[in-house]
Amino acid sequence: MTPTEILIVALVGGGTFFGFVAVVGIIRLPDLYTRAHATSKSDTLGIVLTLGGVALVFGADLAVAKTALLGLFLFVTNPTAAHAITRAAYDQDITPWTTEGEE
Amino acid sequence: MAAGSARILVPVGASSTFRNTVAYAVRAARSGVEAGAEAATVHFVSPARGRTDSGNLGDDIAADLLDRAVVWAREDLDRDADDDPAVEIRTAIVGADRYLFSPGDYADAVAEYAAEFGLDRVVVDPGFQPGGNAPMLLPFERELARSSLTVEEAPTTRRTERVPLVSRATLSKGVATFGATYAFYLLIAGSVTPFNLATGALTALLAAAGFSSVSFLTSPSPRRTGARVLRLLLFVPYLVWEITKANLSIAYIILHPSLPIDPEMQRYRAAVWGGFPVTTLGNSITLTPGTLTVDVGREGLDIHTLTGGARDDLAAGGLERAVRFVFYGRSAARIPSPAERGSISAVDDTDTDTDTGSGGSVVIDAVAASRPSDSRASADDSDPRPAAPDAERTGDPGADRPTEPAAESGEEVE
C-alpha cells in the first residue's frame, strides 16, 4: 500500500467512525436537543473526512474541487438544519433535559 | 410575589401582537381570580401622544384601540367563562397633561396611573412602541421595573422580524452574483468549451437578473469582500481543527458507558452584529461539538451546551474572536472573552426570572424559555383570526437584534 492509500483508508475509516458515533449518539442521548448535537457535528466531521478520502482517490482532478464544494455546503447546511429543528422545539416550549430532571 | 397578581395594567399601542397580549392579560386576571385574588381588573392604558392646541392628535386612534381592546377582552371573558369570574375592564389615556418623550416619561405616566388604581402588574405587549417608531421597548420596561411594578412581556406568537428579503438592486450586486454563478457553473461543468461558456453566461445572467437583489443586502465592495474571503480562508482551518478536537471529546462522551453529559441552556450576548456575521458565529458554534445554537433573539444567542467543558470553551470566546477577525479585521479580534465581559449566563428553566442586571423583579422573557408550556400554546390557538387588521408595522422594534440567520444567503461565501 502506498502512503496515499493508507491516508485514504484512514480518512474513510475516520469518517465511518464519526458516522457511527452520530448513530450511537442518536440512540443513547436523552432528548431532542442533545440528539441534535450528535446529528449536527459528528455527522459533519464524518462526512467531511469521507469526502477528504474521496478527493484523495480522485487525485489531481476537477472532482476534488467539487468535493471541496460539497464539504463547504455541508458546513453551511448541516448546522442550519440542526438549528432549525431545535429552534422549532424551543418555540414549542419543549424543556431541555437536564441532569436534575433525572433525579 | 406580585407575579400572580390579578390587578393588571396593559399599555396599549397598535401592534400585530396586541390581540394576543389582550388574551394573555385577561387569562392572567382570570387565573388570579381562581387563585383567590379578591379584585381582578385589567386596565388598558394608552399613552397620549401628539399634542396640539386643539386637543390630542392621536386620541382618536388611541380611543379606537382602547375600544377594540375592551371588545376583545369581553369576548375572551365570555368565551372562557365557566363560572364567570368577575374581571373588571377599564381603559384610560395617560399623560395627556404633559409632553411624553423619553422611555422614562412613558414609564412615569404609566407607573403613576398604576399607583393611583393600585395596580401592581404590568403586561407589556412585545410589539408595544411607546415612542412611535423608535425602538424603546426595553428601556421602557427597565424604567417601569424601577418602580415596585412587576413587569412582564406577554408571550405572543413570534413575530417574523427581518429586513426585507428584496433589497435595492445595484450594479455591484449584479456583478457579484453574475461572477459567482458563472464561476460555479464553469466549475461544475469542468470545461470551458464555447457551449459551456455560452450556457453559463446565460444562466449567470438570469441568476443575476433574478436574484442579485435577494442574495446581497448591501452592495459588496470588492476590497472588503476580498479581505473577508482571505480571512475566511484562515478561519476555515482553525474551525476544522476546533471541530476535530471537539468531536473527539464528544465521541468519548457518547461512547462512554455512563454517558457523562450535563446539558444546560446558556444565553450569550455575542459581540458580533449583522445577519451574516451572526449566522457564521451561530453555525460555527453549532459545528463545534458540545454547543448548539438554538435561538437568536434580542437578548442574544440561546445556546444548548452538552457538557461543562463545552460551556468553558464557549465562555473563553475563541470562536467569537475568530469570527470578529474574519468580519472586522485583526484589531477587532482583541476583546475580552465573554466570561470576562459577563455576557454569558445560564437560562434558567424553572424560574420565570431572567436576570437583566437591573435588579428588582424584571421579567422580560422575550424568548419564552421559561413559561408554563400551556399558556403560550393556548394563546396561539385561542385566536384563529388574524391580529388587528390595521396593525401598523412601525419601524423595526428589534433594530438592535441580529437578523434571522436563515434569511441570509450563503452566496457571499463563494
Query: Residues B20, B147: one domain?
Result: yes
**Is B88 in a helix, a strand, or coil?**
strand
Which whole number is the average pLDDT over A71-82? Answer: 83
Distance from CA of B285 to the nearest CA of A (A): 9
Say yes or no: B95 and B148 in one domain: yes
- Given B259, B292, B376, which is nearest A82 (Cβ)? B292
Together in a domain, B149 and B227: no
Residues B138 and B179 placed together within one structural domain of the fold: no
Q: Are residues B333 and B256 in the same domain?
A: yes
pLDDT at position B331 is 67
Cα B212 to Cα B177: distance, rounded to the nearest angstrom: 6
Q: Which residues pair with B295 in a beta bridge?
A: B302
**Is B187 at the interface with chain A, CB within 8 A?**
yes
Asked if the model's pLDDT at residue A76 lies above 70, the reply is yes
Q: Note whether residue B389 is domain-resident.
A: no
Helix or strand or coil: residue B291?
strand
In this prediction the ipTM stands at: 0.80
Count up the domains in chain B and report the number.
3
Q: Is residue B409 part of a domain?
A: no
Is the separation of the CB atoms in B18 and B387 below 8 Å? yes
Do both B319 and B302 map to the same domain?
Answer: yes
- pLDDT cut 90: percent of chain A above it: 4
Do B98 and B192 share a domain, yes or no? Answer: no
Is B365 among the domain residues?
no
- Residue B2 has a pLDDT of 43
Which residues constitute the domain of residue B200? Answer: 171-215
Q: Are B346 and B377 in a shared domain? A: no
Q: What are the 10-residue block averages of pLDDT along chain B, 414 residues in total?
A: 66 77 81 72 76 54 80 76 67 76 78 82 77 68 76 67 65 84 87 88 88 73 77 82 81 80 76 74 78 75 77 74 75 66 60 36 35 37 38 37 39 37
In a domain, B185, yes or no: yes
* All residues at 6 or more sequence positions from B132 whose CB lies less than 8 Å from its CB, including other chains: B49, B394, B395
- Helix, strand and coil percent figures for chain B, each rounded to 5: 50, 15, 40
> Taking residues A38-48, what's their average pLDDT?
82
Q: B187–A37: do the CB atoms touch at under 8 Å? A: no
Residue type (1 letter), A28 = R
Choose, out of B181, B247, B305, the residue to mutate when testing the contact with A (most A CBs < 10 Å): B247
A12-16 mean pLDDT: 90
Burial of A64 (0-12, 13-18, 19+ CB in 10 A): middle
pLDDT, position B132: 59
Q: Which amino acid is at B109?
A: A
Radius of gyration of chain A (CA): 17
For the cut 70, the answer to whether the pLDDT of residue A78 exceeds it is yes
Count other Cβ atoms within 10 Å, centred on residue B224: 12
Q: Are B187 and A69 inside 8 Å of each other by CB? A: yes
The answer to whether position B377 is within a domain reads: yes
User: In sequence order, what DSSP letters do the residues of B340-389 get, joined into one string?
Assistant: HHT-EEE--SS-SPPP-SS-S-EE--TT--SS-HHHHHHHHHT--S-S-T
Note the pLDDT of residue B153: 77
* Chain-centre distance for alpha carbon A84: 16
- pLDDT computed for residue B116 by the predictor: 82
Asked whether the beta carbons of residue B286 and residue A18 sit closer than 8 angstroms, the reply is: no
Co-location of B377 and B344 in the same domain: no
